[in-house]
Amino acid sequence: MPTRAYAAQSATSPLGPFSIERREPLAKDVDIEILYCGVCHTDIHFARNEWGFTTFPVVPGHEILGRVRRVGKDVTRFRVGDLAAVGCLVDSCRECSSCKAGLEQHCLKGSTFTYNGADVHSGGVTYGGYAEGIVCDEAYTLRVPGHLDPARSAPLLCAGITTYSPLRAWGAGPGKKVGVVGLGGLGHMGVKFAKAFGAETVLYTTSESKIADGKRLGADHVVISRDADAMAKHMGSLDLIVDTVSADHDINSLLGQLKLDGALVLVGAPPTPLALNVFGLLMPRRRIAGSLIGGIAETQEMLDFCGKHNVVCDIELIPIQKINEAYERMLKSDVKYRFVIDIASLKSR
């Protein structure tokens, strides 16, 4: 069925109006009218082919929240009118050890991502949430607590699960001291989640202007990472640090903040390899690891956790006609802390 969307036609062209085809709902499909779609930095990477494997035209968007308008005959978990969400994944093989363990993002045969993935149903590539609607298998569709602000909930589908998953996996909670590096779209959610888990929370930032906001969001301590004296106060005392920074930066000073068996978990993706002083790992038996979003079950758990603790994102709501301007502002860190597209603006163009 024809669906209005916004797409990039090439790595150098601005995003603009485009028409895509969505499949008619299959027996297990949920047809969602998209209300809001968060804007992730990954969207820029794909729109500008910065990772080198974009298939054009590309319709970005994997922080999708909307309302169910149709369901297939075998759908059991959703009804027309329900709030529903789609995150970074729309399918996987469902048979490999990763999928069976609820780790669909690590599917051994390759996950189907919400955009720029291989569309196993219609052929071609998948198209994301910069569109008026999406059709998704109910197994990869998520329920959203009805009392949460829907616009502020949309970025939970990527920014939320990306920070929730490592905090949960490495045991953030009461009695633990947890650090979050960077106060952007990911970092501000990391601070909120670490505090909601009950951990003593430390925000590391290079900007003094973010001290007040860090404390407002729940940080017990805000450390200017360029200040050697401030860093010395927390030396060797943290159980876990979640590093959200996607720019080149010094991870060795962060490793020094960890106690014995502490872990530095990277969720950002710097463009070049980071320099590592191995002795910072060997002597205190520290660990460095990475984490990629989360599986479907864990993403649902995260949404339920947000409902229980009233955790949502700090956003700036924009019409889709301002998406190119939003991209430029994101590159300057000129947003607190996530842009969200009001898809009603697409329908009214």
Q: pLDDT of 90-104, one tens digit each? A: 999 999 999 999 999
The yes-or-no verdict on residue 204 having pLDDT over 60 is yes
Residues ≥6 apart with Cβ < 8 Å to 254: 179, 181, 204, 225, 241, 243, 264
pTM for this entry: 0.95
Residues of the chain with pLDDT > 90, as a percent, come to 94
Distance in angstroms (rounded) separating the CA atoms of residues 83 and 63: 14
Which residue ranges does the chain devote to CATH 3.40.50.720? 159-290
Confidence of residue 116 (pLDDT cuts 50, 70, 90): very high
Residue 33 buriedness (CB in 10 A; 0-12 / 13-18 / 19+): middle
What tokens were used for 343? 């898809």
In the predicted model, what is the mean pLDDT of residues 62-71?
98
342: region left, alpha or beta (phi > 0 left; psi from -120 to 50 alpha) = beta
In the predicted model, what is the mean pLDDT of residues 222-228?
96
What does DSSP say about strands 238-243 and 258-266: parallel, antiparallel, or unpaired?
parallel
The yes-or-no verdict on residue 347 having pLDDT over 80 is no
3 state SS of 276: coil
Which residue ranges does the chain devote to CATH 3.90.180.10? 2-158+294-347
The domain defined by 2-158+294-347 folds into Quinone Oxidoreductase; Chain A, domain 1 (3.90.180)
| The pLDDT of residue 349 | 55
What tokens were used for 253? 């000073």
CB-CB contact of 289 with 269 (8 Å) = no
| The pLDDT of residue 348 | 67
Return the DSSP state at 321: G
pLDDT digits (tens, 9 = 90+) for 73-88: 999 999 999 999 999 9
| The pLDDT of residue 168 | 97
CA 67 to chain centre: 20
What tokens were used for 284? 């205190």
| The pLDDT of residue 122 | 86
Confidence of residue 271 (pLDDT cuts 50, 70, 90): confident
| The pLDDT of residue 25 | 96
CB-CB contact of 205 with 224 (8 Å) = yes
What does DSSP say about strands 16-21 and 338-342: parallel, antiparallel, or unpaired?
unpaired
Residues of the chain with pLDDT > 70, as a percent, come to 99
3 state SS of 291: coil
Distance in angstroms (rounded) separating the CA atoms of residues 286 and 254: 11
Lowest mean pLDDT among 31-40, 80-89, 155-164, 276-285: 276-285
Architecture of domain 159-290: 3-Layer(aba) Sandwich (3.40)
In whole numbers, what is the pLDDT of the chain averaged over residues?
A: 96
In the predicted model, what is the mean pLDDT of residues 138-166?
97
